[in-house]
A and B are shown apart, each in its own frame.
Chain A
Amino acid sequence: MRRREFLARGAAGLLALSPSLAPSLGRLRLTGSAPWLLVPMDDAQSDHLKAYGLTFRLLERGGRAEWFLNYRSGSFLLPADDAITRDAALNGITVEPLDDSRLVSIRGELQGGNMDAVPLEKAPKVAVYAPPNAAPWDDAVTMALNYAGIRFEKVWDPEVMGAKLKTYDWLHLHHEDFTGQYSKFFLNYAGSPWLVDMVDRNRAMARQLGYPSVPALKRAVAVTIAEYVQRGGFLFAMCTATETLDLALAADNVDIAASYADGTPMDADASQRMRWNEALAFQGATLELNPTIPVYSDIDGHQVNSPDRRQPLGSFTLFNFSAKIDPVATMLVQNHRQVIPDFYGLTTSFTRKTLKPSVTVLADEPGAPWVKYIHGEHGEGTWTFFGGHDPEDPQHQIGDVPTDLSLHPHSPGYRLILNNVLFPAAKKKELKT
């Protein structure tokens, strides 16, 4: 009787100590004297990437969590129920049992330093924009989501144009070319089966949806995606999707596609006629007019496919933000490494000169004229652009073997991707940026 009474009082005390988790605690079966689990995200963590999946699945089950920004490299606080303990054991994720006194002590630390606790309430519904034949292993976000065990759905042009985007909280753009030029590989890879298939599918889709050309369809898709963000969606893009999305948006009544894509050459004065106010992140860029060079503009700092302009890879550094004043940016840069080796993509980086003043730079290469990781708002929603193709395959080539993330469970680059997936789960009223 005395023991039962003690447990009941303890549980009530814990509810008071961790108010944001209180609603889910009622469903918990407490394990011994440790009602909470801390998922450390510093070097003590045995699988950083799967730790995000653990937290995501808890939210999917209706549970609640907290993200301890800047505490042990962005740790998570989860209730210690059987499902989480089992999930962590199965996936090899390090969790540390936490009792109430230790939790109080941690909260004290959070109060005193550049740290904060952000409640995570609802698992975002995730969509990945990708063509139906996209290789499952050729997109870093798809790989990260699959590895972490985060459920997502694939959408493509019919779903986007069919107004299905409004059913998702978070949208990732596969490395799509929204200028409709097939990544400008059309001439250099002429005859390659994968390119033939890509061209056929896109042309058929343009016909099906009633557009005169693939560039016209892709611009319409880009505009619809921008409207999705405007209405409050979260957008995350990598590689060439970042640059081409903005180019497509700004190409209002401007032909920026080579003749092989739409039957007419690019407007010679395209760079001057772009309407950058319609773009999300960039302005004042100069377009690459040569259809044989797989480069779109001077937005990309590294120009990987132009031998004359190609810049070597360095490393990029994550910025520090104030966790209490700027929690959004802080969430997006949670990591156990501050300096991360760079990696190429068709668009690797973003030149500083082409960034709009409103853009928040999350990571850059100090001293270089480019940045790597940027974020901004558009209407009610937000977008985040991350340059490069695959953080663990710095020089990814077409046909390369897929990256196996079980060999990179601590990848700091992939962590940045997963920060973006959990960020929409944060309680809205806490977001101040």
Chain B
Amino acid sequence: MNRAWWLAAVLLAPLPLAAQQDSAMARAFELERRGNYSQAVDAYRAVLVARPADASALLGLERALTPLGRETDILPQVRAALAVLNPSPTTGAIFGVALRAWAAAGAPDSLRSVAERWAAMAPGDETPYREWGAAALAERDRAAARQAYTTARQELHRDDALAAEMAQLDFADGDFAGSLREWLPAVRRVSGYRTSAVSMLTQAPDSLRQALLSQLGHEHDLPARRLEANLRARWGDPLGALESLQAALPADTALAVEALRGLADQLRTVPGRDGRQALGRALEQIADRTREPERSRTRLEAARAYTAAGQRDAARRMLTGIADDRGAPGTIAAGASATLIQVLIGDGKLDEASKRLAEHRSDMAVDDYTSLERRLVRAYIQAGDLAHADSLVAGDSTVEGLALAGRLRLYRGDIAGAIARFKAAGPFAGEREEATERTALLAMLQPIEADTVLPLGQALLALARGDTARAVTGLDKVGGELPPDKGGAEIHLMAGRLAAAIGKPADAERMFKAADVQTAPGTAPAAELALAELLLDQRRPAEAVAQLEHLILTYPSSALVPQARRRLDEARGGVPQT
């Protein structure tokens, strides 16, 4: 009995004050977590009654009041906290809450007073002024924020204090020159600011860019050069970007590599030949400053960039040695081999490429190998060497291989064989563009009744080899020999499109008209649309309009009618030219 009473007394005794407060905080957190903000406010306030300067409770109260739209209701608690505040690790958090509360209340004098009190407790620290400015900005008061930063500079006797914040203000005001002036010291102090600086300054209108670059040109240190390089790269001058950086690269290898890597990362996103070339050069310089295996890996990447830029000599220079270096890591050597084979194909050294491909077959992934093999087949086709192309394709039973085999049949004039292989390959084999082109070819071939039309194969081979003029002549002749509804109209349409593409509008017009016959109703709307577009290109809008109107009214159910209407709108000036 006595034992039971004792237990009851222990259980029912009041908890120590600290434990009660912890429990109250836990309850407040839980209410906030559940989204019950009203009750959370009450719970946090209860904690603050006992401990007015409890930073966690004050911050919790601020968080709970914000979604209720009652930010200024925190002011009594803020005043109470400030009244008992002593320097401690949480002082900053309490001052921060106070600044935001006064800013929300639209009380600039109180805002300033709190910031000055904080600054007095933390001499030499930028934070009070930064928070003051941030609180003002949260209320969209840029003038007050600027006042906060200017005061910081006066009080701290440092012209570069809060430079990043000032730069953002200038940017918001559309003052790009001012923003750049501020970003420079900010980036010099904290290099991590460069990303923000670049992303803001990049948005400068075209008309201001040269002036900004000139402004940067007066600075000669590495941070300024890096900023200039980043901006030039973003503004479409990747080679200029690299030159800017090179001029200030430090002797310290680690620093130089870090700067080059930063630019290379950006250049990877810059499209176009200049972008690839600049990337290749940056990577080459990184490789020159690093050791194996990083060196080989970087040279390989540089070679790929040079290849994409069409700089085969530079690519070969990078690859020399890596591919045949047994000491280089296996994946790098295989990658180098693949790139080197691409370079050799590009140089027209097909037999050497073929030999290397055979030698390195075991080092390469299957997909890489077949991809290179097909590139080689296409290169042999372009060279007119159908025998070698045939021999490579013979062992390829994939759908992509069938598609290539179909083309080889076609170039030999074997229409039936080409159709059979194209059908077997299906409509999706290969890249999208290639698949679309093959489908169009199949549509052109199917109406042809003859199994073999050698001149058609020769004309298409000429086209594959880049001799478009010869292809046009051949196709025009074949189109004239075949009945319009048995392939003649489609071939004339293709010939006309090619003639237009090589700047022979008169020939193209004649061929489109030859394709526009009622006996080939599947081809005629396309021929009329092509003719109208040719007339538009030749600035003959009235004839184009008549042609388009004829198309729409004569073939109202054609799938080309929406496109024709669009071109009609353009011809009449109803919509912007695309």
Binding site for B on A (CB under 8 A): 86, 89-92, 136-137, 146-149, 188, 191-193, 307-308, 399, 401-402, 404-406
Cα-based distance from A89 to B561 in the complex (angstroms): 10
Q: Is B549 a contact of A90 with CB atoms below 8 Å? A: yes
Nearest Cβ distance between residue B446 and chain A, in whole angstroms?
Answer: 31
Interface centre among A89, A90, A137, A405 (most CB of B within 10 A): A90
Cα-based distance from A401 to B575 in the complex (angstroms): 12
Q: Is A402 a contact of B565 with CB atoms below 8 Å? A: no
Which B residues from 206 to 253 make CB contacts under 8 A with A? Answer: 207-208
Say yes or no: is B356 at the interface (Cβ < 8 Å to chain A).
no
By a CB distance below 8 angstroms, the chain A residues around B576 are 137, 401-402, 404
Nearest Cβ distance between residue A359 and chain B, in whole angstroms?
Answer: 31
Q: Is A149 a contact of B574 with CB atoms below 8 Å? A: yes
Cα-based distance from A402 to B573 in the complex (angstroms): 13
By a CB distance below 8 angstroms, the chain B residues around A307 are 140, 142, 172
Q: Is A147 a contact of B574 with CB atoms below 8 Å? A: yes
Question: Given A308-B141, A406-B566, A193 and B573 touching (CB < 8 A)?
Answer: no
Q: Is B174 a contact of A90 with CB atoms below 8 Å? A: no
Say yes or no: is B562 at the interface (Cβ < 8 Å to chain A).
yes
- Other A-B pairs, 18, CB within 8 Å; known A399-B205, A402-B576: A90-B552, A92-B562, A137-B576, A146-B575, A147-B574, A149-B572, A191-B207, A192-B205, A192-B207, A307-B172, A308-B140, A404-B575, A404-B576, A404-B578, A405-B574, A406-B565, A406-B566, A406-B569
Cα-based distance from A307 to B143 in the complex (angstroms): 12
Say yes or no: is B7 at the interface (Cβ < 8 Å to chain A).
no
Question: Given A90-B553, A90-B568, A405-B575, A188 and B205 touching (CB < 8 A)?
Answer: no
**10 interchain residue pairs of minimum CB distance:** A308-B140, A402-B576, A147-B574, A406-B575, A146-B574, A404-B575, A92-B565, A90-B552, A188-B174, A137-B576
Which B residues from 542 to 578 make CB contacts under 8 A with A? Answer: 549, 552-553, 556, 561-562, 565-566, 568-569, 572-576, 578
Cα-based distance from A147 to B207 in the complex (angstroms): 32
By a CB distance below 8 angstroms, the chain B residues around A86 are 553
Which B residues from 120 to 144 make CB contacts under 8 A with A? Answer: 140-142
Q: Report which of B142, B556, B569, B578 forms a contact with A147, defined as CB distance below 8 A.
A: B569
Which B residues from 168 to 186 make CB contacts under 8 A with A? Answer: 172, 174
0/1 interface trace, chain B 97-119, chain A, CB 8 Å (1 if under): 00000000000000000000000
Binding site for A on B (CB under 8 A): 140-142, 172, 174, 205, 207-208, 549, 552-553, 556, 561-562, 565-566, 568-569, 572-576, 578
Cα-based distance from A148 to B556 in the complex (angstroms): 20
Contacts A/B (CB < 8 Å), 10 sampled:
A86-B553, A90-B553, A92-B562, A188-B174, A308-B141, A401-B576, A402-B576, A404-B578, A405-B575, A406-B575
Nearest Cβ distance between residue B235 and chain A, in whole angstroms?
Answer: 16
Cα-based distance from A239 to B205 in the complex (angstroms): 24
Cα-based distance from A399 to B204 in the complex (angstroms): 13
Cα-based distance from A191 to B553 in the complex (angstroms): 51
By a CB distance below 8 angstroms, the chain A residues around B561 are 92
By a CB distance below 8 angstroms, the chain B residues around A191 are 207-208
By a CB distance below 8 angstroms, the chain B residues around A404 are 575-576, 578
Nearest Cβ distance between residue B220 and chain A, in whole angstroms?
Answer: 27
Closest A residue to B140 by CB, please name it: A308
Nearest Cβ distance between residue A413 and chain B, in whole angstroms?
Answer: 17
Q: Report which of A91, A137, A188 forms a contact with B565, defined as CB distance below 8 A.
A: A91
Q: Report which of A147, A188, A193, A399 forms a contact with B575, defined as CB distance below 8 A.
A: A147
Nearest Cβ distance between residue B362 and chain A, in whole angstroms?
Answer: 52
Nearest Cβ distance between residue B519 and chain A, in whole angstroms?
Answer: 24
Question: Given A89-B552, A90-B552, A146 and B573 touching (CB < 8 A)?
Answer: yes
Q: Is B574 a contact of A89 with CB atoms below 8 Å? A: no
By a CB distance below 8 angstroms, the chain A residues around B566 are 406
Cα-based distance from A91 to B561 in the complex (angstroms): 10
Nearest Cβ distance between residue A315 and chain B, in whole angstroms?
Answer: 23
By a CB distance below 8 angstroms, the chain B residues around A149 are 572, 574
Closest A residue to B172 by CB, please name it: A307
By a CB distance below 8 angstroms, the chain B residues around A308 are 140-141
Nearest Cβ distance between residue A126 and chain B, in whole angstroms?
Answer: 15
Q: Is B565 a contact of A90 with CB atoms below 8 Å? A: yes
Closest A residue to B562 by CB, please name it: A92
Closest A residue to B142 by CB, please name it: A307
Cα-based distance from A307 to B174 in the complex (angstroms): 12
Closest A residue to B551 by CB, please name it: A90
By a CB distance below 8 angstroms, the chain A residues around B568 are 90
By a CB distance below 8 angstroms, the chain B residues around A399 are 205
Q: Is A193 a contact of B574 with CB atoms below 8 Å? A: no
Nearest Cβ distance between residue A95 and chain B, in whole angstroms?
Answer: 13
Cα-based distance from A307 to B549 in the complex (angstroms): 50
By a CB distance below 8 angstroms, the chain A residues around B142 are 307
Cα-based distance from A92 to B548 in the complex (angstroms): 13
By a CB distance below 8 angstroms, the chain A residues around B569 are 147, 406
Nearest Cβ distance between residue B221 and chain A, in whole angstroms?
Answer: 29
By a CB distance below 8 angstroms, the chain B residues around A193 are 207
By a CB distance below 8 angstroms, the chain A residues around B578 are 404
Cα-based distance from A401 to B572 in the complex (angstroms): 19
By a CB distance below 8 angstroms, the chain A residues around B549 are 90
Closest A residue to B561 by CB, please name it: A92
By a CB distance below 8 angstroms, the chain A residues around B174 are 188
Nearest Cβ distance between residue B178 and chain A, in whole angstroms?
Answer: 13
Nearest Cβ distance between residue B553 and chain A, in whole angstroms?
Answer: 6
By a CB distance below 8 angstroms, the chain A residues around B562 are 92
By a CB distance below 8 angstroms, the chain B residues around A92 are 561-562, 565
Cα-based distance from A15 to B572 in the complex (angstroms): 36
By a CB distance below 8 angstroms, the chain A residues around B573 are 136, 146
By a CB distance below 8 angstroms, the chain A residues around B572 are 149
Nearest Cβ distance between residue B544 and chain A, in whole angstroms?
Answer: 13
Closest B residue to A145 by CB, please name it: B574
Closest B residue to A193 by CB, please name it: B207
Cα-based distance from A191 to B212 in the complex (angstroms): 14
Q: Is B553 a contact of A89 with CB atoms below 8 Å? A: yes
Cα-based distance from A92 to B142 in the complex (angstroms): 52
Closest B residue to A195 by CB, please name it: B207
Question: Given A192-B207, A308-B141, A406-B566, A89 and B575 touching (CB < 8 A)?
Answer: no
By a CB distance below 8 angstroms, the chain B residues around A192 are 205, 207
Closest B residue to A148 by CB, please name it: B574
Closest B residue to A310 by CB, please name it: B140
Cα-based distance from A402 to B561 in the complex (angstroms): 24
Nearest Cβ distance between residue B145 and chain A, in whole angstroms?
Answer: 12
Closest A residue to B572 by CB, please name it: A149
Cα-based distance from A86 to B554 in the complex (angstroms): 11
Closest A residue to B569 by CB, please name it: A406
By a CB distance below 8 angstroms, the chain B residues around A188 are 174
Nearest Cβ distance between residue B180 and chain A, in whole angstroms?
Answer: 16
Interface centre among A91, A137, A148 (most CB of B within 10 A): A91
Closest B residue to A191 by CB, please name it: B207
Cα-based distance from A148 to B569 in the complex (angstroms): 9
Nearest Cβ distance between residue B572 and chain A, in whole angstroms?
Answer: 7
By a CB distance below 8 angstroms, the chain B residues around A402 are 576
By a CB distance below 8 angstroms, the chain B residues around A136 are 573
By a CB distance below 8 angstroms, the chain B residues around A405 are 574-575
Cα-based distance from A89 to B566 in the complex (angstroms): 13
Nearest Cβ distance between residue B578 and chain A, in whole angstroms?
Answer: 8
Closest B residue to A136 by CB, please name it: B573
Cα-based distance from A188 to B573 in the complex (angstroms): 33
Closest B residue to A194 by CB, please name it: B207
Nearest Cβ distance between residue B380 and chain A, in whole angstroms?
Answer: 44
